[in-house]
Amino acid sequence: MIAEECGVADRVTLLGGVSRERMPGLMSSADLVLSLPRYEPFGIVPVEAMACGAPVLATAVGGQLDTVVDGITGALVPADDDHDISGTVRRLLADPDLLARYGAFGRRRVLACYTWDRVAEGVTRAYSAVSCVPSLSGAVR
Is 60 inside any structural domain?
yes
Q: Within the chain, where are the H helices? A: 2-5, 23-29, 44-51, 64-67, 85-93, 96-113, 116-129
pLDDT of residue 64: 96
pLDDT of residue 123: 84
pLDDT of residue 139: 58
Is 17 inside any structural domain?
yes
> Range of 106's domain?
2-115
The number of folded domains in the chain is: 1
CATH number of the domain enclosing 68:
3.40.50.2000
pLDDT tens for the chain, 141 residues long, are 788 998 988 988 788 899 999 999 999 999 999 999 999 998 899 999 999 999 999 999 999 999 999 999 999 999 987 778 989 999 999 999 999 999 999 999 999 999 889 888 888 888 888 756 555 566 555
Rounded to whole angstroms, how far apart are CA atoms 139 and 59? 38
| Sign of the alpha-carbon torsion through 27, 28, 30, 35 | positive
Supply the Cα-derived Rg of the chain in whole angstroms. Answer: 18
What is the side-by-side strand order in the sheet with 56-59?
33-35, 56-59, 74-77
Query: What pTM does this model have?
Result: 0.80
Is 137 inside any structural domain?
no
Q: What are the φ/ψ torsions at residue 83 (nearest 5 degrees)?
A: -75, 140
Is 71 inside any structural domain?
yes
Taking alpha carbons only, the member of 32, 13, 9 closest to residue 89 is: 32
CB 60 within 8 A of CB 72: no
Rounded to whole angstroms, how far apart are CA atoms 137 and 46? 31
Is 140 inside any structural domain?
no
Rounded to whole angstroms, how far apart are CA atoms 129 and 17? 40
- Per DSSP, the three-state class of 139 is coil
